[in-house]
Structure formats: structure tokens, C-alpha cells
A and B are shown apart, each in its own frame.
Chain A
């Protein structure tokens, strides 16, 4: 009996003493096992791209940046970047590590092109003290067969690696990314008022690429008259332009763009292409931006010369006559300005000089805008002293302005991407008073 009791006790000890072995692991395996699994998964993945990776990294300070990465055994990485001509053409090698810091993490632990974005100074195009507001430590979030999705530790921006094809690799190494970068930059320096047509949207959708900040915007007037605006980021790669933060309009995700034979085409996620076209005048209707208390309040010139436009107008010769009248009187016209003074009144200032002294001749109008038609009235008796003394020279302009009649406010087309607006006479559409919008 005593023995039995003891056996029972011993058995109890054995049982309870070892019970802890049987604890169920909440996450399948021991922490160190899971850590190692995850780290070796990332390590193996990084090396498992025979043609390297094309990568895009977003920054908080600016837009997206494109990379070509080749991870090599021995924990070295070669890279190209779309930052500038050198980074786009000269492979640069540095070290990297995969460490555990709350999660498997990829760290670019010595200086390379990607560090130029993280560097705090303004030496590489960022703004001190935080550079481009970017990272060199990335958390491993997930991966697929052909891609790795990482996220910056501090600024939480996406860093997406996609396996490059053999062709892409040779394009990257041949400097194609930089070639496309420079040709896209020069394209946007010479092509203005870019827009695309999207099915289901009746107005043109204005597209504006900022190649300096690597961001792009889209905006259009919706059917209810409101302005819809979208913001995205992009980077260059060996194929063209990649949306690192895509713009999504009506469910269409604009993923990339190409420049082939001088034409830019954008593609949505279904592969549908959108040709980027150019307008001779800005895309948004002028009434959204021009008026009292709006973005543009003045129609003016910067010199005595009118801006170059791609239509003809009677105003051109009227103005040129006035300019030469002043020259003949020993004076010189500097510029003019028609500006809103209030909800009902406008002033036209003619700036001219006699010798070293500058003068202003002015006339004030009442105005009325209805359905985009402006009517100037009541100038008589509202001309300034200088206007009256110089009337001999100003006369053709005075006659012109006083008799313009109801006129439609609209953009004036031009080939230089200038913001030019004007008043189109309703009785004679070939007669338009125009100038730069300021």
C-alpha cells in the first residue's frame, strides 16, 4: 500500500514535472526557428534573381526612384539608380546585410546610390536636414515568385523589387534607364498642356509630370463642374516610366508609361493604352482660374512686345501702332496690365517711360461677366491725367478697348506652353484682346 502510494506520488511528479514540454506553440515553431526561416527566406530570395532586380522606392520628401539591383554572394550588392547620369550608367558596389530587427530586414549598411536619398544633406538633391526623407533599412513584408515587397523602417515607404528579365538586365547595363530619363525630361520641357482621354469622362484629363520631384498629377472637370485632382509618384526604369504611387481614376490604375518614337503612352493595369496628347492651351477651363479672387487676376505683357500666339488678332496691329507712336514721340512703352480691382471694376494700366522716368497711364472700366462673356463699360471720364496727355499716342488702343463689346474669356493657343488668355469679341471671333495671365 505504501509502495503503491509512493509510485503514485512518483508518477505524479513525473507527469506534472514534464507537463510543460507539451505546451502548444502558438505560432507553429520556436521563435528562433521562425526568425531563421524568415531571414533565410529573404536571403535566398535576394540571390535568386539571375538577371538582378528592377526596384522602385518611394520617398517622403520627393517622388519615386528607380534602381537596378544585383545581390551577390558575399553580401555585396551592385546598383544603378535613376538619380542622375552617373548613377544611371556606372554600377556601384557596396555591402548589405539581412538582419533581424523585429522582422527580417534588409539593410544597405555602407554607402551606395540608395544612401544618397537617405543622406541628410542637400548634396544629392534632397533638402537638409533630412535629404529625400528615405530609408536604407527595409522590413521584409512579403514576396511572390518574381517579386519582393519591402517597407522602409522609418518613413514606411514601399520598396518593391521585381525580377528583371535578361533583356531588361542588358538594357539597364547599357544605360537605357538614364537614356529614357533624359529623353523623358526633355520631352516634358518641350511638350505642354498634356492630357489623355479616359472612357466615361467627357472632359480632357490633364496630366502633368514633374521630372524634378518625380511626381505627377492628373485633373479634370467632372460632369458636376467640380475639379477632380489626383497625385502620384513615379520613377524611371529601363522600359520608361513606372508609377511607384499610381494614380487611380475611375478604378483605372495607371501603372506605367513609355516614350516610343516621340509619343508617350500611359498604360493602366489591364494593359489598355492612353496616348498622351498636347493641347495648344491649358486643359482646365479658363473660368476656373481667371477672375477676381482667382489664381490669375491680370492680363499683361512683360515687355512692349505681345506674346507669340498661334492665331491672328486685330489687337496685335493696334498695340504695335501704339508702341511705335510712343517711340515717335521720344518715349517708350514698357508693358501693359489689365487687372481686376474689385467685383465690378477693372483697371487698364499702360506703363511707359520718358528718359529715365517711368509713368503710368490708366483707364478704369466697370465690368460684368455672365456665362463666360465679359462686357467692359463706363470708361469715359475715368481716364487718368497721363492717359489724357498721351491720348495722341494712345488713341488707337482707346478706340479698340472702348469698342470691344461683349467678349468671351478663353485661353489663347500658343506653341510655347505659355499661359495666355484673352477676350474674344462675340461679333468677330478673329478679334481678341490677349496677354499673359498673371
Chain B
């Protein structure tokens, strides 16, 4: 009887639960309808990387006290592509799929407008909790303007660095490299020049060592090593040493804690920017056309890299023919060339400096100079020999042995070239963007290359 009673009591009260059981389907407070772009996001970010993209307006994803606009729906695809190509794929390739899938922020929130701050500045992006990155100003994204993309990618890499720093803290050694942090980085006294002279890559770096670390990483990746080196050169001796020390710590940090070769990250970022967004700021062609190249040295007989990485047969033949010709010059005087240097006067002219020796005067080194003009058109380069009337000794020498080394001199004018960094696949990642190569257009087997110095 007691059992029966209890059973009745229990069952009779179950009904109460039935009624309070709310049908959650009825609680659907939204009527979101997927569009083509939602499928695009799913296929490109959600499925491969488990990343959600919030682009429909949701005030809760940002400061409720600010007016912030949703993005234009047509700007979502370029933003998704930028995140995928300029950020995820780079880390995926260098750090491995596990690394990026583990550490990538899982939510990207896109807003069309800037977020205005009380001090008049605008926020380009924020990261919080290691989960979410908010990107602003998506309405002005322009995939055909590489500077526009780079500014945004710098923000993404900056924010991702914060997230990585939450996994493994910034090494204490980084904190003591520079200590000149300021409470208000926007203060007019914190100029770019002052920040640089103190060893900071940007004025924003001065806000804290955490921001400094993120800024250092973002600039090294997106603006590239050449940019960083230029900043080092423009800094004070102390500042330069500090900038170098920071880069060393950054590289060591990624190597030691994540087994990531930072140089590879830099190179892959460069490839993405130059190939997808046509960014010429780090390409060899870009450097050549902006008068940033100083010399390319072609020390064919002595430099070890030609032994390791080889020489194209066509160029080798021109060099060997020149050697034979020069040896036969002047009653078989046995002269021999030792080195070639291309010295760039500017983007339109280079001086070919051939060094040679004469056994009859074993201590002397002779120079023969020749002028070439450069025509850079649509990524292709042609050289034209310009006869010189200069009375300089080296030009005189040049005229003297011109016929003897004709095959070499002619080589430069015979082909249309494409100027490219020699791939790290050949020279190794440590030499990435250090060897300048000229490849015959349409026949890359024919080429010449050598270490480059920049202006």
C-alpha cells in the first residue's frame, strides 16, 4: 500500500514537470537565414579550422556604449580570404595543422566601421580570452590594395601573438630589453622617431612589453625583414641593438616553445602577400624598381654557394668563354677574370664591374667597368649595353678587354629576365630573400644569381 501510494504520488507529480517542460523549439528567438556567404564561411573557415565568423550585427560582441556598424555583406568574402590566406594557412604550413587548429581564435567577429575611443583614436581590432578576435573597418577592405590588406593582417598577427603569449608567457628576458614604456602611447611626445631611437618598432610598442612583443612579431611578419632592417638602420646604435635583441628573443620563443622556424613564417607571409595581394614591398622586383638594391655579386669561381646550389649551364658557358677569351688576349698573356659585381646606380642603370688579374703583375687587381641600362616592364627585365666614353681607368680597362670577354657581356643583353629571390627550397630558409636571381622569362633553367646587398 505504501509503495502504491508513493508511486501514485510520484506519477501524479510528474505531470507538473511535463507542463513546465518548455518546448525549446518554441524558444527560437532568431530567424537567421543562411546566405551564400554563410556557406563560404563554413567551407573555408568553420569546417577546416573550427572557426565561427560573426558578421551579422550583434551588439554584445563589442562595447555597447559605442556606435559600431555591421559590415557590408559583400566585404565578408575578402575578409574571410584574408584571414585564411594571410594568417591561418601560413601558420598551418609552418607550425602544422595541429598548432593552428589548437591555438587559432575560434571566433572572428567582423564590424564594418571603426570603434572610436574616447581619446579620438580608433581601434582596428581586439582579442580576448584567447578565443575571439574582433576586426573593425571591414567595409573599407580592399583586396587589390596590398597596403590596405597588410594593415589588417598586422592587426590579426598582432592579436594572435597575444593569444600565443597566453599559452606561453613572454620570456622575462624580453621585458628587460627596453623599459621605456609610457602610460599614454598616443601622447604627442611619443613620436615615431623617439620610439624608434629607443628601440621600439612602432609608437604603439611603447604601451607595454606585451604590446611591444606583439608589434615586433606583426611587423617582422607582415612588413618583413627588409623593413625591420631598415628601421634598425634608422635607429640609434643602442636602439638598433635592442631591436636586434627583440628579434632574437622572438625567434627563440617560437623555436623553443612551438618548434616554429620564425624565418619560415616570415617567408610564407611574404609569399602570400606578394602572390595573392601583389605586394611588391618585399619582392626582388619591387626592390629593384624602387631603387633599393645596391649590389649583386657573381663570384662564380670562389663563392661556395655556387658549388652547393649550382650554376646554370648557359651562364657558366658565357663565363667560361669569357675566361678563354681573356686568357688569349694580349699574346696569350693568361689574364683571368675573378669576380663580377652588378652595382645598381638606380632602377634604370647598373654598372657591371669585372675584376681580373694578370700573371705578369701578380699583386695587382684590375677592374673593368661597363654600363647597362635596365628596362623593367610588367615584372620583366631587359638590359641594354651602353657604350661608355668615360676616361676613368676602369672604363678604359673595360674598353681594352671588351672584345675578349664579349660572350659574358653579351649574355646580359640576350634574354628577357624575371628577377626573383632564389627559392628557399634551393638555398635554405636561412638564406631566404638573400640571393637575387635573374631567370630567363619562360626558361628558368637559364639564370644567374648571387648574394644581394640593399641600399
Contact = CB atoms under 8 A, between A and B. Distances in A.
A109 B29 contact: no
Contacts of B178: none
A411 B4 CA distance: 102
A95 B30 CA distance: 13
A20 B19 contact: yes
A429 to B, nearest CB: 58
Contacts of A9: 5
A119 B113 contact: yes
Contacts of A208: none
Contacts of A211: none
B59 interface: yes
B28 to A, nearest CB: 8
Contacts of B283: none
B425 interface: no
A99 B30 CA distance: 5
B31 A121 contact: no
B364 interface: no
Interface stretch (A128-136, A212-220, A247-255, A391-399): A128-136
A224 B22 CA distance: 66
B377 interface: no
A99 B31 contact: yes
Interface stretch (A30-38, A257-265, A305-313, A355-363): A30-38
Interface string B63-103: 00011111111000000000000000000000000000000
| Dominant SS among interface residues on chain B | loop
Contact of A13 (B12, B16, B23): B12
Nearest to A32: B26
A108 B15 CA distance: 42
Interface string A395-434: 0000000000000000000000000000000000000000
Contacts of B31: 39, 43, 75, 97-99
Contact of B13 (A17, A95, A128): A17
A97 B69 contact: no
Contact of A111 (B1, B8, B116, B139): B139
B69 A119 contact: yes
B1 A110 contact: no
Contact of B56 (A35, A39, A95): A95
Contact of B114 (A35, A74, A108, A121): A121
B5 A18 contact: no
Contacts of A144: none
A291 interface: no
Interface in B319-348: none
Interface of A: 6, 9-10, 13-14, 17-18, 20-21, 30, 32-33, 35-36, 39, 43, 74-75, 94-95, 97-101, 107-111, 115, 118-121, 128-131, 133, 136-137, 154
13 contacts: A6-B1, A13-B12, A20-B16, A94-B73, A95-B35, A95-B73, A99-B31, A100-B29, A110-B71, A111-B70, A115-B70, A115-B112, A119-B112
Interface of B: 1, 4-5, 8-9, 12-13, 15-16, 19, 22-23, 26-33, 35, 55-59, 66-73, 112-116, 139
Given A13-B9, A99-B31, A111-B69, 18 more contacts: A13-B12, A14-B8, A32-B26, A35-B26, A39-B31, A97-B56, A100-B29, A107-B57, A108-B70, A118-B69, A119-B67, A119-B113, A120-B69, A120-B113, A128-B116, A129-B66, A133-B67, A154-B67
